[in-house]
A and B are shown apart, each in its own frame.
Chain A
Amino acid sequence: MSGLRGLNVVRAPSPPSDASFTTRLRSAAVAARVGLVLGICFGIAFVTGLISHYAQNVDQPVPFPTSPSWGYRVTQGLHVVTGTACVPLLLVKLWTVYPKLFQRPPGDVRRLTLEVLERASIGVLVASAIFQLASGLANVTEWYPWDFSFRPTHYALAWVAIGSLLVHVAVKLPIIRGALGSDVDATTYDRPSATRPAALSRRGLLRATWVATGVAVLAVAGNTVPFLRRASVLAPHSGGGPQDLPVTKSAFAAGVTSSATSAAYRLEVVHGDRSVSLSREQLLGMDQQTEKLPIACVEGWSASGTWTGVRLRTLLDLVDAPAGSDVVVTSLQERGAFRHSTLPGNFAADHRTTLALALNGEPLAIDHGYPARIIAPNRPGVLQTKWVTRLEVLT
């Protein structure tokens, strides 16, 4: 790649300039091709991120659909996989344009102003892009080494990243078009000093980038694609766990170990002044249904489970809840943002939505929400409330 000579110039008394970088690999021809794929991956991550954000919103002008049941599993899996794919792509992209950082500013005021503005937009793009990838990769392992709140920050900076990406594309459009329209070895847009052949050809560097991206994807995709589980040596979840299903929040972490196993446990179903109180035995005595539904976590892992329990609609009928009402689900958890979740009317009415008492043929494990949990189709896992103690119909 850049080789010895570039480094020797760096050691020279004058500070490095873009002319110090002489390999012909650091070129617009390579940057445009890697940038195109990187831009597509950022676009997919942006759109799937918006879907995930919307699915978690309490206020939804247009109700999030309940079908297909695997929809969120696919969009959130794609979100994390494309985000991971961006790491090699962004690194190579930044490597090819690194000399630009040392470019001497132009003399006249008009061009200088434009250059300052362009560099500011690039600075915002690079900072937000690195931020999104680094914070996302830490978040999928539940590592939070920061003071900010992850979800609003990752969401806000997604808009900043995609906005500055559009500005970057608008500024570079003629070069992008020209570079993509001509041969990868064309020298039209090369810097004058970038003439030294490197160990790799430009095609070789591009192939290396695609291979690195493929390896990165394979190394993590088993988080959500079952047949890749064995190959994905860097996936945060192997797919195993109690009853063959991973866990994001354990009963211990939620502080419900004693309340969930207490004989005093009751499920309250409330609608206005009507209410019903049911023990787990009474719930088990009701008609049971079995549904195969995925748990798809916002952290990007997903797995399918076979859930058995009482259809939610049956429980709501006990208190004469009108069809299509929203239902607030309350957990035994005493604190935390996900102590409550709201099941929108269309989810509460869906026949597949179940208050699950068993998973994969066994009584629900405590880490999966014993004595009872909500499982609905096409929902972020964080809203599939565990250790459910109260269902309140909103009127």
Chain B
Amino acid sequence: MSEVSNLVEMRGIVKRFPGVLANDNVDFDLRPGEIHGLLGENGAGKSTLMSVLAGLYRPDAGTIRVRGVPVSFNSPRDAIALGLGMIHQHFTLIDSHTVTENILLGLDDPRFLMRLSQYDERMAETGRRFGLQVSPSAKIWQLSVGEQQRVEILKMLYRGVQVLIMDEPTSVLAPQEIEELFKTLRSMVGQGKSIVFISHKLHEVMSIADRISVLRQGKVTAAGIDPGATSKAELANLMVGRKVLFDIEKRPKEPGQVVLELQEVSAQNDKGLPALRNVGLKVRSGEILGLAGVAGNGQSELGEVITGLRRCTAGSIFVNGNEVANRPARESIEFGVAHIPEDRTHVGTAPNLSITDNVIMKAYRQPPLARGRSLNRHAAHERAEHLKQEYTILAPNVETPARLLSGGNLQRVILARELSSEPALLIAMQPTRGLDVGAIEGVQRLLLQQRDSGAAILLVSEELEEIFSLSDRIAVIYEGEIVGDDVEADAETVGLLMTGGARSSESKAAA
């Protein structure tokens, strides 16, 4: 009991999954009142380690001590009882219930009568204490992703959690929401909570964490180092074990003909509200147009109208001179539009079908995959094998169902399918979101390769750095309008446009 100063001590944690050693003899300490950044690539074992701490998994070996006392958990309930709560990447909220109802779910109090208004008051109280503004009587579906995350945090705080484990909390947030989250986290630490912040984003971890630990392939490569005493490059090295190029080399641009042209396009979102207003854009072959904007300003709808997945209420869209607005999705595919969708698992892939079935999704109508009305299974298999090699998709074989692939590998399946069609136009929606450093670099290289071979690319991304380093031209979208076209690659200019700060002065650029 010499290290009483540690709130949590994990020693020699080993966790095996079939074929994978997710945690290999890992030690981890958490001090009271600190934000501990846990860095690592996708699949490095960060989430596994923290799931062990949160009672979700049982370690194959190793010990956990909380406040010096050895513990063993059989479920997250046990962990919460000892003050350890985890907030997962995918929220576990019930859409049609209110915030208060979601927070109370599974608790013994209230027992029978809900007396919701009384509890609403308590929730608001807890929220105020930690700077988590959210209306207790709002239904979950009415809330933005950032607000939903606040509900998840409130849920844990209401259960009296002392240690909050946050798994990639920023991956779903817009830049402003990230700032707000950071403020909340700091205020929680100020009130004596401890936080484990899991991420693979170097700059975030460096700006929020008091100490940083790094995992690589299930092993600790750095334990509790001081962010002041290290650098991005060093951390990246600890994460991936090799030097990462942060500046991607780019050949000078040689734009050709206009491939994509939008004229005065308007469209509505799923709730029937205007999402795009008179959008005009042009993308030339051999050019990457980076569209910057805070998430939810019409980017998703823009991608969908171009690919035929959403109707326009006005305007025209041309791909190489062919009108594709309000035409079936199949036509835009036939005109050579490739689409890396925003939502990998719900749109981009079919989870229970094999890698083979997933890579032929766009091309199965054409020979050699189609032989008359039959599917040429041999050709499909060969294509899958070939793409698995070329795009280094890591999986036991091409018959592996897509749901067993990690995020990075799933994105490689989508890229393999979309890029192998040699598209005239590529709509890349958040292509590197949630990927680790190594994978991001690979995706970015592939995009540049497409550009150099003459594709027109519309890149939609929330990562300004990515937009700046890849784009030949930058446009900014705000509340469904293009508020800047061909703007300077400068964080301040673009940042102001993205947040509507310079709207009036830039309106002529949009016209």
- To the question of whether A and B form a pair in one complex, the answer is no
Instruction: Spell out A's residues near B (CB within 8 Å).
Output: none
